[in-house]
Amino acid sequence: MRTQMLHLRRVDTRQLFQRTFAQSSAARSSADFRSRPHLPFLYIPTTRPRVRYLTTERKAKLKYEIKVGIKYTGYFWIAGFCFFAIYFAIVEEKLERHYPSPHEWTYWTRVNFRGGHCARYEPPPGKITDWKQVAWWAEKTLKRLEDPNIDGKDVKDAPHDCPPGTKDISAKSEEWRRGYYETMILFAKAAEYMDGWVLDTKRNLTFPPGTMIGPSNPFPKPLPPGFKGAPREEDCVLRFEPPDSVYLRILNTVGFNNRQKIEAGIAYASWLEYKGITGPASIVYEDAVRLAASERTDLTVEPIDKKTWILNEAAGPPSENLLNALTAYATFRARQGDVASALPIFVSILKARRSLQGEFSGPTSITASLRNQPSQPKGTWAWVRSILVPPAYPPPPPDGTAPPVRDAKALCQEAALSLHIGEIMYTTPGVTGKASSSGRDHREEGLAWTREAVDIAEEQLRKLGSSSAPGKPSETRVTCKECLATGLDNWSTMVSRLAKEERQKIKEEAERKRKAKASSGWLGSLWGQGPAAVVESEEAENTERVGRWGAEEKVIEERRKRVRELLEDLRPLPRGPLSWLQA
């Protein structure tokens, strides 16, 4: 028993000595560590466990996750690119049906061509046409068409006496030349709206005219909303080619037919007239008329009188080019105040148009006038084929050397002539040099012509029906709409003036009668009709009395309400792929 107790004491003493030695060693070690310099090679290894954050298993897992992320990201971008490519192809296919382009052009040239027409005729909802975008697209198309390395093979420079940049495209096909003409006309029209716009070469920004700061513009205009920082004159150049140079290039291009040059000449003369340059505008109009009159070489007499510019009936029916050019020239002379010479020209043109063959006979002529619009396929297989097979480029229009057919467009042009004649007769008494056969006033004669024009234009528009399809509107519909809108405005203005005079006469007549009855004195009062009663009865009668022109004013207002649906082609707003979520 004693031996066991001695053994336990010895064990306890040994354990106590070990703990005390360990504590003293730790104390000495900590004291020595604090007294030593902190150098890496003097650190004492510690016995605390280290944690490995990047193990072999975790490293493999991270590699797998990175590979999967890269793979699915690639799938996402590929799917997005495919979706965008399919959407782009569908949109371009739809635009190709609205604005056909020659098939021999390269793909991106056709894309630029369609983009320019889409920017002009299909602006975003709630916005107007952005002519800067139209000019940009048209300029890109022209550069590609005139580049011999892209689409300008066999396109040559015109003779040296032509304006710079004029081309000779006589070696190209008819489709190529027609598309080139459409692009040039589109660029010229956009250049009219962008005339004077400048490009800041340092910032590559476009600014409206009159806003740059410089010696030539000491009083710059304030910048419109959306433009920041007025440009300086030394940093600016013209952004687009001036309209004058574009039109001169069209008129001197070798390869365009007479109809294209006459249309370009009329547009150029209209631009000059808008700028107030009436002298050169008159010369351009006359050149267009002479060019149209010189097309037929088999005539023994001149188609027009060189002094009065009136059509010669002995020359037979005039060509469509001559009728269009002469109408534009007569309108120009009327706007310049020379109505005495403009009215006989209008009358001769109207007489020539009414003597044309091919009387308007309903749906057949309407379909012919809308031949440029794409027809809807019939049947499932035809519909599928129309999607897979590219649409054919439309056939060329008539060159204008033959007399026009009296279709819906021709009738609306006749209505426009009636409007011109009615307006001249209303505003100018005795312009015809003889009294009216019916004994009516010259203003009533003008009103009769105007009413007839409105009736014809409305009838043709109703036969054509409403059209809300996107794309370039048909020339027939545009002509009839312009004629109907202008006719209603002229009719309303004429009648309102006559109604104002009529109300003044009614008022003066009522005042005269009131004074005559009031002067009857006490004799009238014996029968209960004193001066006060006379005044009240006359005022009540005048408020209920409506004259002839006042009643016609109400007729015009009802007519405006009736034709509103014809003048406003309301198109539904475009609905996106999430439109099913909308109410």
Q: What is the mean pLDDT of the segment spanning 567-572? A: 67
Asked if residue 222 belongs to a domain, the reply is: no
**Please, what is the average pLDDT of the chain?**
82
Q: State the DSSP H helix or E strand holding residue 411, giving kind and residue range, or none if neither.
A: helix 408-427
pLDDT of residue 368: 43
Count CA atoms closer than 13 A to 168's CA, side-chain side: 9
Do 105 and 251 have their domain in common? yes
Token code pair at residue 492: 């309303």
Which is nearest to 178 in space by CA: 95, 267, 101, 262?
101
The answer to whether residue 106 scores a pLDDT higher than 90 is yes
Distance CA 187, CA 141 (A): 10
Tell me which of 310 and 465 has the higher pLDDT: 310
The answer to whether residue 268 scores a pLDDT higher than 80 is yes
pLDDT of residue 439: 52
Distance CA 487, CA 415 (A): 9
The answer to whether residue 262 scores a pLDDT higher than 90 is yes
Confidence of residue 577 (pLDDT cuts 50, 70, 90): low
Distance CA 314, CA 570 (A): 47
Domain boundary among the residues 374, 406, 438 is at 406
pLDDT of residue 72: 94
Q: What is the mean pLDDT of the segment spanning 220-243? A: 91
Tell me which of 377 and 487 has the higher pLDDT: 487
Weakest mean pLDDT among 81-90, 127-136, 429-438: 429-438
The answer to whether residue 255 scores a pLDDT higher than 90 is yes
Q: What percent of the chain has pLDDT over 70?
A: 77
Asked if residue 210 belongs to a domain, the reply is: yes
pLDDT of residue 435: 44
Do 238 and 103 have their domain in common? yes
Question: Do the beta carbons of residue 255 and residue 162 sit within 8 Å?
Answer: no
- What are the pLDDT digits (tens) for 163-186? 999 999 999 999 999 999 999 999
Distance CA 41, CA 61 (A): 36
DSSP letter (8 states) at residue 237: E
Question: Do the beta carbons of residue 148 and residue 157 sit within 8 Å?
Answer: no
The answer to whether residue 357 scores a pLDDT higher than 50 is yes
The answer to whether residue 366 scores a pLDDT higher than 90 is no
Asked if residue 430 belongs to a domain, the reply is: yes
The answer to whether residue 537 scores a pLDDT higher than 50 is yes
Tell me which of 535 and 364 has the higher pLDDT: 535
pLDDT of residue 526: 45
Most confident region among 1-10, 53-62, 482-491 by mean pLDDT: 482-491
Residue type, 469: A
* Residues in the chain, overall count: 583
What is the model's pTM?
A: 0.80
How far is C-alpha 247 from the chain's CA centre?
Answer: 20
Asked if residue 381 belongs to a domain, the reply is: no
Asked if residue 262 belongs to a domain, the reply is: no
Confidence of residue 218 (pLDDT cuts 50, 70, 90): confident
Domain boundary among the residues 45, 78, 95 is at 95
The answer to whether residue 10 scores a pLDDT higher than 60 is no
Do 140 and 237 have their domain in common? yes
pLDDT of residue 396: 92
Distance CA 69, CA 361 (A): 70
Weakest mean pLDDT among 35-39, 117-121, 410-414: 35-39
Token code pair at residue 137: 């697209």
Q: What is the mean pLDDT of the segment spanning 224-230? A: 88
Do 242 and 190 have their domain in common? yes
pLDDT of residue 54: 74
Do 306 and 244 have their domain in common? no
pLDDT of residue 541: 52
Do 123 and 87 have their domain in common? no
Tell me how many domains the chain contains.
Answer: 4
Q: At 12, is the secondary structure helix, strand, or coil?
A: helix
Q: What is the mean pLDDT of the segment spanning 442-448? A: 90
Weakest mean pLDDT among 39-53, 130-144, 250-264, 402-416: 39-53
Question: Do the beta carbons of residue 197 and residue 208 sit within 8 Å?
Answer: yes
Do 450 and 550 have their domain in common? yes
pLDDT of residue 360: 43
The answer to whether residue 340 scores a pLDDT higher than 60 is yes
Show the domain range for 320: 267-363+397-406
Asked if residue 274 belongs to a domain, the reply is: yes
Weakest mean pLDDT among 119-123, 159-163, 198-202, 336-340: 159-163
pLDDT of residue 36: 53
Do 74 and 120 have their domain in common? no
Angle between helices 442-464 and 548-567 (to 10 degrees): 30
Which is nearest to 208 in space by CA: 216, 218, 197, 219?
197
Q: What is the mean pLDDT of the segment spanning 101-116? A: 95
pLDDT of residue 104: 94
Number of C-beta neighbours around residue 98 at 10 A: 17
Asked if residue 434 belongs to a domain, the reply is: yes
Do 89 and 188 have their domain in common? no
Q: State the DSSP H helix or E strand holding residue 157, giving kind and residue range, or none if neither.
A: strand 156-157
Q: What is the mean pLDDT of the segment spanning 280-292? A: 96
pLDDT of residue 569: 67
Do 500 and 512 have their domain in common? yes
Token code pair at residue 51: 């944690």
Asked if residue 28 belongs to a domain, the reply is: no
Opening angle at CA 474, ends 473 and 477, nearest 5:
100
Tell me which of 38 and 284 has the higher pLDDT: 284
Do 516 and 566 have their domain in common? yes
Do 200 and 301 have their domain in common? no
The answer to whether residue 434 scores a pLDDT higher than 70 is no
Distance CA 103, CA 109 (A): 10
Distance CA 481, CA 122 (A): 19
User: How big is the chain by its Cα radius of gyration, in Å?
Assistant: 43
Distance CA 110, CA 101 (A): 6
The answer to whether residue 324 scores a pLDDT higher than 70 is yes
